[in-house]
Structure 1
Amino acid sequence: MAIDPSKFHKINVADTCSVWNILSSRQLYSAAQEAQCEFCMTGFVLYECLIKPRTSPTEADLELKKRLKQEQAKGKFSAHSCSIDDLQAIANLESRKRLGKGELSSIAFASRIRQAFITDDRKARALSESVAQAITQTTPHLHSWLIFTNILTDADHQTVLSQHIEMGGSLAPHLSTAYGIALQCRLNSLAANKTLSPDAGL
């Protein structure tokens, strides 16, 4: 999926992997809050994040669960029940791709409420784009947009990477690529504005 750093839909239904990736960096999440981004989830994702038993959870796993509970106490990452129509859509989607209930319910819910679906799972992204035709975004896209809009600085980018890696995240290469795309897009935008300026060429 091509990233356009100049655009990002602020209201997102997050699946399990994106919840953890967004919360993995305090710097990234704080910037997203500053930009007035909102994230919610389905009951299936809530179960996967906080209730489903894990074998040998790491310290990072426990820390991320703690962060999610803290944010929910503030009214963030609210969980929503699926409607009968959502459940039917999930059943239909299940026949197309082998994905968990968390991803499928998020796609169905985002499609119904006409908001974006944010995921870092390639199969879920492909299904959302091809079948549900929902607005589909990723954590690297969010990072790229925050860089492009100067909410995150160059120094912040390194902080995001180190915090994400510290929490066991695997998106560092994709976050770095998204960072480069944002810088190039910003450069192109500046060049275009200079060309259009009445004083250009003087």
Structure 2
Amino acid sequence: MAVDITQFRLNNIIDTCSIWNLLSSKVLYRATGLARCSFCCTKFVIYECLNKPRKSSSPEEDELIERLKIEKNKGMFKEYHLSIEDLQDVDILEKRKNLSKGELSSIAFARRISQAFLTDDQGARMLASQFMDQDMVQTIPQLFGWLMYESYLNDSDKDEVINEHESFKRPLKKYFNEIYLKALEMRLLKRE
């Protein structure tokens, strides 16, 4: 899927993996506030993040959980219930391909209310793209690139975002580096 970092929808239905990837960097998350991005999710996603039993947890996971709780107490990451009709969206359920309930509920909810779906799971992206316009399916690296392109983040922020992200053992370093170069290229083209 081609990614257009010159555009980003500000209101997003976010899934579990993207919450963790977003909150793994305070610099990145702060920039989303400056850009007036908003993130909401389904009750299933909050369950996966905060309540789902884990075999074991790491200090990194515990810190991300704490960050999410703090942000929820500030009124961020508002959560929504789904209707029975949303949950019975047969088209989505028939093609689910090992996705979690959080991802499936997020796709169904984003589709129903015509909002962008923010995910870093490739399977969820592919499935969502079958039911929504491709530009309504977004990723954290795309968000990072857009924040760079629009100068909510600057060049000196790149390494800090990546270092913070890696300190939580999150997997997006390669994509951040690739999209950073794309953002530089697009900024140069914008000036011409």
Name which of structure 1's ranges 17-26 and 130-139 shifts more when overlaid on structure 2: 130-139
Report Cα offsets for 1:134-171 as digits up to 9, x if no partner: 61000000000000011101110110000000011010
CA RMSD of aligned residues (A): 1.0
Amino acid at match of 1:114: S
What is the number of equivalent residue pairs in this alignment? 190
Q: State the 4+ residue runs in structure 1 displaced beyond 2 angstroms.
A: 131-134
Does the 8 Å CA contact 2:96/2:104 hold for their aligned counterparts? no
Residue 27 (structure 2) pairs with residue 8 (structure 1): no
For residue 128 of structure 1, report the CA deviation from its aligned partner. Answer: 0.5
- The 3-state SS of whatever aligns with 1:169 is coil
Partner Cα separation in structure 2 for residue 74 and residue 29 of structure 1: 14
- Gapped runs of 5+ residues in structure 1? 192-202
Matched with 2:129 is: 129
- Gapped runs of 5+ residues in structure 2? none
Matched with 1:95 is: 94
Amino acid at match of 2:185: Q
Partner Cα separation in structure 1 for residue 133 and residue 153 of structure 2: 30
Does the 8 Å CA contact 1:108/1:132 hold for their aligned counterparts? no
For residue 77 of structure 1, report the CA deviation from its aligned partner. Answer: 0.4
User: Following superposition of structure 1 onto structure 2, how do residues 98-109 of structure 1 map, counting pairs within 5 Å?
Assistant: 98=97, 99-109=99-109
User: Following superposition of structure 1 onto structure 2, how do residues 5-44 of structure 1 map, counting pairs within 5 Å?
Assistant: 5-44=5-44
- The 3-state SS of whatever aligns with 1:39 is strand
Matched with 2:144 is: 143
Matched with 1:118 is: 118
User: Identity percentage over the alignment?
Assistant: 45
| The structure with more radius of gyration | 1
Residue 170 (structure 2) pairs with residue 169 (structure 1): yes
- The 3-state SS of whatever aligns with 1:55 is coil
For residue 55 of structure 1, report the CA deviation from its aligned partner. Answer: 1.4
